[in-house]
Amino acid sequence: MRLIIVIIVCICCFSCKNQTIVKNEVQDQALEKRVRPVHDTIGFTKYNWQLDSIYNRLGIKDSKNSMQWKAAVSPHDDYKYAGRLYYESLKGINANTIILVGVAHRARNFNLQDKIIFGDFTHWESPYGDLKVSDINSEIIEQLPKYSYLVHNDMQELEHSLEAIVPFLHRKNKNLEIIPILVPYINYSLIDVIGNDLSIVVSKILKEKNLAYGKDVAVVISNDAVHYGNEEWGRDLAPFGVDDKGTKKARAIDMEIIEKCLVNEISNEKIKTFTEYTVQTNDYKEYKWVWCGRYSVPFGVSFANKLNQALHNKPLQGTFLDYQSSIDHELITVEDLGMGTTAIATQKHWVAYASIKYE
């Protein structure tokens, strides 16, 4: 009888030990560091000394400020072309947690549409060390309706539109944490619905954690404005021609879009009008006016605005900061830093950038 009891006890101990091992393995997997690597090492900085050098060449002094912008629109083109505008677009974003809303340039590769795209990386590689993905990222995923999102690491790993912005934010705030979201093909009705879903979840989390919009959490929206010209685009993107008059007309349309849709008091009507400018009425997957932020901008601005309404019962106010293109200003020298450009910049092939803040 005593022998049987000993055998039973041993079996139970072995079973408990196995359960503990399995539990520990699951916990270890949950805690495993998963780092999203840098994708573009040509147009953007891989090393901190590269961005430090760019700051020096732009004559930018390191100085802290007390601004608490709630959201901003920033470019994501090569630093040689848009370096200063990154700084100007992000200088008032000083929160420790940034919700990044980016373009999904290669959504077609994965047949992604009509859902926002998260990743489950724990960190992103940055010139200033591995950058933590906020724990709020997983909290949002857990609480969002399942129809509204996908977790897709491959898409996040291939996309450059957010990694362009990360070094400028991380350089000035080493305690930064991010929540990266990509927006693939999506029509206006879903922009409105999913943006509302996300604002409800995020506002709830902010209230529970006693976090202030602008001070503790902010939104940064990645975008490049018009892509213009008739060379190296794969098709003709120059409806007004590629001389000075054509360039001037293209810039004028961009400014019209900004003034009518993205500044002053933000509303659903303005956001819908933006989509009417930029995507085809009968096929929202096709460009009408070529902003690569044709989905990230309306979704990001809609979400940021709805979040302000949920928390403060009033719309955001957008303020135009600046507008540049890859051909209208003196460029930064980056070649000696081991950097370069990913596309040409001529009157036959240029990209524009809009800089806007929201308070």
**Domain-wise residue ranges, the chain:** 38-358
Task: Give pLDDT, residue 19.
Answer: 52
Task: Give pLDDT, residue 31.
Answer: 66
257 by Cβ neighbours in 10 Å (0-12 / 13-18 / 19+) ranks as buried
Domain 38-358 has CATH 3.40.190.10: no
C-alpha to C-alpha distance for 329 and 37, rounded to whole angstroms: 32
Give the type of residue at 169: L
| Beta partners for residue 117, in sequence order | 150, 182
Task: Give pLDDT, residue 23.
Answer: 46
**Nearest alpha-carbon partner for 87 in 4, 207, 169:** 169
Beta strand residue intervals within 135-251, DSSP E: 149-151, 177-183, 217-222, 227-229
C-alpha to C-alpha distance for 358 and 68, rounded to whole angstroms: 10
**Nearest alpha-carbon partner for 105 in 240, 294, 251:** 294
Residues 6 or more apart whose Cβ sits within 8 Å of residue 124: 35, 36, 130, 131, 133, 163, 166, 178, 180
Backbone angles phi, psi at 256, to 5 degrees: -65, -40
C-alpha to C-alpha distance for 132 and 21, rounded to whole angstroms: 28
Looking at the chain, how many residues does it have? Answer: 359
Tokens of residue 23, six digits:
């539990």
Task: Give pLDDT, residue 63.
Answer: 72
**159 and 106 Cβ atoms separated by less than 8 Å:** yes
In terms of DSSP bridges, do strands 123-124 and 131-133 run parallel, antiparallel, or are they unpaired?
A: antiparallel
Residue for token pair 């900004």: 258
Task: Give pLDDT, residue 203.
Answer: 98
Task: Give pLDDT, residue 9.
Answer: 40
Tokens of residue 327, six digits:
């051909």
Tokens of residue 12, six digits:
């139970």
Task: Give pLDDT, residue 173.
Answer: 96
Q: Which stretches of the chain drop beneath a pLDDT of 70?
A: 1-31
Task: Give pLDDT, residue 11.
Answer: 43
**352 and 322 Cβ atoms separated by less than 8 Å:** no
56 by Cβ neighbours in 10 Å (0-12 / 13-18 / 19+) ranks as exposed
**336 and 56 Cβ atoms separated by less than 8 Å:** no
Using alpha carbons, list the distances in angstroms from residue 268 to 72, 147, 272, 315.
18, 22, 6, 10
Residues 6 or more apart whose Cβ sits within 8 Å of residue 105: 158, 159, 160, 161, 292
Radius of gyration for the chain, computed over Cα atoms and rounded to the nearest angstrom? 23
- CB neighbours (10 Å) of residue 269? 9
**Nearest alpha-carbon partner for 250 in 338, 351, 176:** 351
Give the type of residue at 270: K
